[in-house]
Amino acid sequence: MAFPTETVYGLGADARNEAAVRRIFAVKGRPASHPLIVHLASAAEFQTWARSVPAVAYELAGRFWPGPLTLILKRSASVSDLITGGQDTVGLRVPMNSLAQQLLQAFAGGIAAPSANRYGRVSPTSAEDVRADLGDLVDLILDGGPCEIGVESTIVDLSSGPPALLRPGGISAEDLEGVLGQPMSSERGSEVRAPGMQAAHYAPRARIVLADASSLASVAERERGSGHSVVVLAPGTPALSSGIEQIRVPETLAEYARVLYRTLREVDRRQFDVAVVQIQPLSGLGLAIRDRLTRAAAAKLDQQP
Ligand code: TXA
Ligand code: MG
């Protein structure tokens, strides 16, 4: 079933039931080599899923769980290859959304769940988004209303070497580094480790073009000059040529993150060809916003002949 978390909606299956986990891949159209995050009711379940858990994992879990943080740890022997993509590690997360918590506590086991969208597309932040993406392929959707955070969890690799940031997300790098007492490396793992880190991902149908505030209007004008219908995504009221529409996005990064995917879906619903998006600062949730928009922009470049 699909269920809400504070980040995005997940498509969940009993992590111990291989037939159920296979259905996740089938419904999403996701390649089998891509690992899934196992969602747990509490950090007390570490031992069941991970081995050789380093002290720093307990520190991060103690500070940020329940919440939008996924820890990559060495897996325990009982974890299915289907979950880990055949790797020796497992991603674990304890969500804080109250429906997710109730579900996990009632189920009393691990729930494997990727974001409840078709592979490569924009993640869902409401039950309606899930229904629009997955239709009748998903039997049941728990409707918890819109997601509070709006971008996926931050993924930190603690399985070997110093802590590494694999995917920026709902917990800022600054907050994590405050607990770690050292900067994280953001060296990428191999692309198999984290498909959400592939260049092309999180993509709407419209082409995304990033621009800074001073060049928004000229970039938008150039795109329109090439015959495209253009929308500008920016806070404030930039001076745009007539005929170019704007979707005003929130000023604060936390609020922007909350509506980011909903806004990308609106761009598609209104059938714009191109969205010119104002670049945001890289601090706090800005890092996750920039990451998703950069990958969304790369997706369309990949598809050009
Ligand atoms: O906020 C979230 O994390 C949401 C909600 C539903 O919890 N889930 C989510 O799952 O975004 P998904 O599958 O769309 O993205 C999870 C990312 C993928 O890029 C996956 O490759 C990576 O986590 N991942 C999972 N297990 C991993 C592992 N053992 N090693 C490295 N990366 C892993
Ligand atoms: Mg996803």
Ligand 1 site residues (CB inside 6 A) read 5, 7-8, 10, 34-37, 68, 70, 72, 84, 87, 89-91, 93, 113-115, 152-153, 155, 166, 193-196
Same domain, 150 and 35: yes
> Domain tally for the chain?
2
Q: Residue 273 sits in a domain of what CATH number? A: 3.40.50.11030
CA distance linking residue 295 with residue 65, whole number of Å: 27
**At which residue do the structure tokens 């379940």 appear?**
45
The letter for the amino acid at 98 is S
Rg, the chain, Cα only: 19
Same domain, 176 and 243: no
Q: Are 208 and 229 in contact (CB under 8 A)?
A: no
Tens-level pLDDT at each residue, the chain (305 residues): 999 999 999 999 999 999 999 999 999 999 988 999 999 999 999 989 999 999 999 999 999 999 999 999 999 999 999 999 999 999 999 999 999 999 999 999 999 999 999 998 999 999 999 999 999 999 999 999 999 999 999 999 999 989 999 999 999 999 999 999 999 988 654 433 444 555 567 789 999 999 999 999 999 999 999 999 999 999 999 999 988 999 999 999 999 999 999 999 999 999 999 999 999 999 999 999 999 999 999 876 665 44
Same domain, 18 and 83: yes
- Taking the model in full, what pTM does it have? 0.95
| Dist. CA 227 → ligand 2 center (Å) | 32
Same domain, 136 and 232: no
| Dist. CA 236 → ligand 1 center (Å) | 34
Q: Residue 86: give the domain boundaries.
A: 2-189
* 295 is a domain residue: yes
* 202 is a domain residue: no
Same domain, 155 and 10: yes
Q: Residue 34 sits in a domain of what CATH number? A: 3.90.870.10
Same domain, 216 and 150: no
| Dist. CA 222 → ligand 2 center (Å) | 32
* 65 is a domain residue: yes
Choose the final residue of a domain: 155, 189, 223.
Answer: 189
Same domain, 158 and 236: no
Dmax over CA atoms of the chain, in Å, equals 62
Q: Are 188 and 280 in contact (CB under 8 A)?
A: no
Choose the final residue of a domain: 163, 189, 215.
Answer: 189
Cα 251–chain centre separation = 21
